[in-house]
């Protein structure tokens, strides 16, 4: 008994020795005050915390003004950004000096962002000036929160509000988890994508509540091994892979799994979109399952002629190859009669597309829900309402 106890005691001491208490760096210790600009205070607090292993930057309850910050690593060890209050971005886009982000976390391993606080992008003025929905060569606008080269990290219990452009953007991230994140902007706010994932892998998004003026979640080139589970979406443009094929030599998209989503009053449901006249590319191993649609336009859509506002100079077929895609257990209501619309490329027809257990109703004029298929022959199983590929082109 005594021998066992001593071993247990030794193990406990080892554990305690290996888990030092976090060192706290409160921005108020660096001069931050509510209702004032804390850009310098936060920058100093972050720099000090980053130089210590196992640290925590704290922004306590209150409202604070914040300009552009680049919270840069690598740090000595794991670091937590604990936001309990509300950060407010400058109203004027010009004051951010052409930056493509407002709060940027960069080159960090072992980051935690938490605290229940709000990143308020104050986007109302920027939306009026935003031409990006009509002009693909528009000026860059700042993203609320950028994660660049962030690994082995977690983002939980935060809110992103009224971003000037995308709310959250991932670039070259690996093993990054999002849990209980809220993203909110009005339906008429242009290009306010909720979470955009590009050139990143092993990303999970769970229990998020997203309502924006653009895609709730979007996956760009190089998004691989992404899991989305229990997300509510609306308003917005739905959950989208793409648009793809806009640029030369895009990395493929693969391993996207969306389960347990609920979409309400969105402009699209679950969607894969590629530009016509595109460069070669690939989107494969993409699966949508257990999705509920409430009054959603275009609930299930593959659009390989994606060309908003006639921005395409050449309508030759897309060269992005779409394969190994499934839509399973998708039910609810469509606000448009064409509930299933699979428009694939004449140049590289879609392959290995599955429709299974689809039940989508339409209550408008003109009859019941319909489906259209172009350059694709999906495998079908289970209940199919509307019948698969009733209209084939």
Q: Of all helices (H) and strands (E), which one includes residue 127?
A: helix 124-129
Point out the least confidently predicted range of 164-168, 182-186, 274-278: 274-278
Q: What is the DSSP letter of 315?
A: -
100 is catalytic: no
* pLDDT tens profile 189-200: 999 999 999 999
Task: Give the other-Cβ count within 10 Å of 73's Cβ.
Answer: 18
The angle formed by the CA atoms of residues 387, 370 and 188, to the nearest 5 degrees, is 135
Secondary element (H or E) of residue 144: strand 143-156
Domain residue extents for the chain: 215-393
Token output for 387: 């019948």
Instruction: Say if residues 243 and 303 touch (Cβ distance below 8 Å).
Output: no
Would you call 167 a catalytic residue per the annotation?
no
| 16-45 pLDDT per residue, tens | 444 458 899 999 999 999 999 999 999 999
Q: Which of 120, 193, 214, 285 is catalytic?
A: 214
List 148, 167, 193, 237, catalytic entry: 237
Whether this model's pTM surpasses 0.95: no
Query: How many angstroms separate the CA atoms of 393 and 383, rounded?
Result: 23
CA proximity to 205, closest of 292, 267, 147: 147
For the chain, the farthest-separated pair of C-alpha atoms sits apart, in whole angstroms, at: 82
* CATH entry, 215-393, from 3.40.50.1110, 3.40.630.30, 2.160.20.10, 3.40.109.10: 2.160.20.10
Instruction: Show the tokens assigned to 13.
Output: 């001491």
pLDDT band at 10 (very low <50, low <70, confident <90, very high): low
Query: What gap in Å lies between CA 50 and CA 152, rounded to an integer?
Result: 16
């Amino acid at each position: 008994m005594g021998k066992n106890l001593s071993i247990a005691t030794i193990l406990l001491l080892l554990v305690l020795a290996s888990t030092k208490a976090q060192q706290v760096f409160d921005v108020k210790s660096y001069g931050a005050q509510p209702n004032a600009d804390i850009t310098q205070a936060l920058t100093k607090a972050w720099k000090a915390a980053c130089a210590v292993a196992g640290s925590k930057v704290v922004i306590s309850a209150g409202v604070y003004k914040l300009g552009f910050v680049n919270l840069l690593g690598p740090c000595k060890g794991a670091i937590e950004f604990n936001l309990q209050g509300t950060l407010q971005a400058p109203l004027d886009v010009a004051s951010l000096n052409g930056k493509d982000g407002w709060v940027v976390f960069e080159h960090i391993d072992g980051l935690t962002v938490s605290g229940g606080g709000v990143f308020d992008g104050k986007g109302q003025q920027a939306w009026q000036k935003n031409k990006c929905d009509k002009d693909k060569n528009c000026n860059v606008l700042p993203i609320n929160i950028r994660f660049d080269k962030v690994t082995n990290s977690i983002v939980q219990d935060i809110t992103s509000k009224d971003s000037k452009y995308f709310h959250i953007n991932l670039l070259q991230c690996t093993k990054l988890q999002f849990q209980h994140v809220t993203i909110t902007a009005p339906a008429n706010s242009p290009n306010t994508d909720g979470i955009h994932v590009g050139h990143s892998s092993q990303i999970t998004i769970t229990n998020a509540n997203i309502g924006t003026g653009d895609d709730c979640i979007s996956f760009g080139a190089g998004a691989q091994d992404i899991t989305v589970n229990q997300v509510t979406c609306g308003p917005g443009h739905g959950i989208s892979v793409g648009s793809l094929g806009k640029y030369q030599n895009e990395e493929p998209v693969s391993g996207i799994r969306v389960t347990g989503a609920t979409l309400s009053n969105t402009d699209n449901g679950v969607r894969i979109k590629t530009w016509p006249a595109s460069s070669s590319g690939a989107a494969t191993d993409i699966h949508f399952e257990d999705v509920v649609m409430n009054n959603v336009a275009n609930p299930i859509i593959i659009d390989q002629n994606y060309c908003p506002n006639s921005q395409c100079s050449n309508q030759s077929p897309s060269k992005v190859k779409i394969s190994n895609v499934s839509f399973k257990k998708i039910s609810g209501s469509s606000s448009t009669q064409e509930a299933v619309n699979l428009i694939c490329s004449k140049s590289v027809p879609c392959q290995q597309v599955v429709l299974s257990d689809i039940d989508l109703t339409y209550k408008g004029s003109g009859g019941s829900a319909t489906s259209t298929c172009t350059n694709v022959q999906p495998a079908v199983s289970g209940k199919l309402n509307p019948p698969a590929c009733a209209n084939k082109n």
